Amino acid sequence: MTSTRYLDPQLDFVHEPLPVRVVFGAGRFSGISEEVSRLGLRRLLVVCTPGKQVLGESAARLLGDRAAGICAAAQMHVQTDTAEAAVTQARSLSVDGCVAIGGGSAIGLAKAIAVQTELPFVCVPTTYSGSEMTSIWALTENGEKRTSRSPLALARTVIYDPSLTTNLPSTFAVASGMNALAHAVEALYAPESSPIIALLAEESARSLAVALPALRDTTVSNARALAFRGSWLAGMCLGATTMSLHHKICHVLGGRFGLPHAVTHAVVLPHVASFNLPASRDAEAALRRALSSNHPGTALHVLASAAGITDTLQSLGLSKQDIATAADDVVAQPYHNPRPVDRDAVLAILSAAWHGGPPERQSDH
């Protein structure tokens, strides 16, 4: 019998892999000096968040006399003045490259330096944000976050060492994993999706669905490596596609209302997936397989809540009045989405995520 799945694949696409060297495995961080010397780099600025300065110092120690200094000023949503100060530090130290160690915030600051100075950089991610695999960079000024893509914002080498994620608090680890899942979900219905991206996204979702429930159990030694594998694949998907409604909503909630990045993704994703998937049969089928559920939106909610995410947009600090303002911002400019979006649809999604609970099961018929 011929499977109908193979009669309707996406056979009109462009696929352009991004040239990033990936080094993956427990203990790989100790080889950072060899990785930077492979790139011919001799004077490096280590970039991290203030809370991860100790990690920045370990990177500097491993780099030895290749470490020129540490910039521990990274913060969520890179502010223009923080980026300017970091660029000044990089120039005054005459560095020839940077090492970003930490989550999306540290990587985001290294990208801002790279775009303005054309310096190459190496990433050592310690969360599942996926930023290390993309050429997307952003600056925030007066509450407005502007995002662009640039080849200069692409890391030369990424070192995934799961042992660096053992201190990541499990609730944040799950939220960060949901952020990665959001990349996989939206890549499945992105206009630039391709057979390769569809495979990566489905496999990413499968890895994360297995890893996330195990992240709180420290006896499951492989869970963090599996989550990293999933976030790496999701990061490749994010780097190759443009995101839709879910990312637009989270972008507005983070940029304008200051909501924390990863957990906001965890709270919003089940509701947007439930809204969008009935309009994208291939994406829905892939997620049914990956999540072993006939209702992927509900499965995403169960996954997050069973793994310890009980937040709502209300508990994250969004006021009820802000819902209408956020909905206005989300529909202010057009963008790709598999299902037509209007203000009422966004209001319904935001209200559901504000109150919490499982998403409404929807159909486009």
Give the nearer residue to ligand NAD in terms of CB position, either 77 or 229.
77
Which CB, 131 or 207, lies closer to ligand NAD?
131
Distance in angstroms (rounded) separating the CA atoms of residues 238 and 190: 10
**Tokens representing 170?**
């499990």
Closest distance between ligand NAD and the C-beta of residue 246, in Å? Answer: 13
Rounded CA-CA distance 122/97 in Å is 8
CB of 101 to ligand NAD, least distance (A): 9
Nearest to 211 by CA among 236, 262, 182, 176: 176
Binding site for ligand NAD (CB under 6 A): 49, 51-52, 76-77, 102-106, 108, 126-127, 129-131, 134, 136-138, 164-165, 167-168, 176, 179, 238, 261-262
Distance CA 283, CA 338 (A): 10
Choose between 191 and 357: whose C-beta lies nearer to ligand NAD. 191
Would you put residue 333 in left (φ > 0), alpha (ψ -120 to 50) or beta? beta
What is each CA distance from 254 to 149, 333, 360, in whole angstroms? 19, 17, 24
Q: Which is nearer to ligand NAD, 130 or 308 (CB)?
A: 130
| Cβ proximity to ligand NAD, 126 vs 171, nearer residue | 126
Instruction: Give 80-86 contacts, CB < 8 A, sequence gap 24+.
Output: 80/139, 80/140, 80/141, 82/109, 83/109, 83/112, 83/113, 83/116, 83/139, 86/45, 86/47, 86/112, 86/113
| Residue with Cβ nearer ligand NAD (78 or 331) | 78
Determine the residue with CB nearest ligand NAD: 104
Minimum distance between the CB of residue 123 and ligand NAD, rounded to whole angstroms?
11
Instruction: Name the phi and psi angles at 290, rounded to 5.
Output: -65, -35
Q: Report angle CA 311, 266, 288 to the nearest 5 degrees.
A: 125
Nearer to ligand NAD, 97 or 108 (CB): 108
Burial of 278 (0-12, 13-18, 19+ CB in 10 A): middle
Q: How near is the Cβ of 158 to ligand NAD at its closest, in Å?
A: 12
In whole angstroms, how close is the CB of 153 to ligand NAD at the nearest point?
8
Element (H, E) at 24: strand 21-24
Distances in Å between the alpha carbon of 278 and those of 302, 336, 357? 19, 16, 20
Residue 52 or residue 246: which is nearer to ligand NAD going by CB?
Answer: 52
Length of the chain in terms of residues written: 365
Q: Least distance in Å: CB of 281 to ligand NAD?
A: 27
Judge whether 84 and 34 are in contact, CB under 8 Å. no
As measured in angstroms, the least distance from the Cβ of 318 to ligand NAD is: 17
Least Å from the CB of residue 6 to ligand NAD: 33
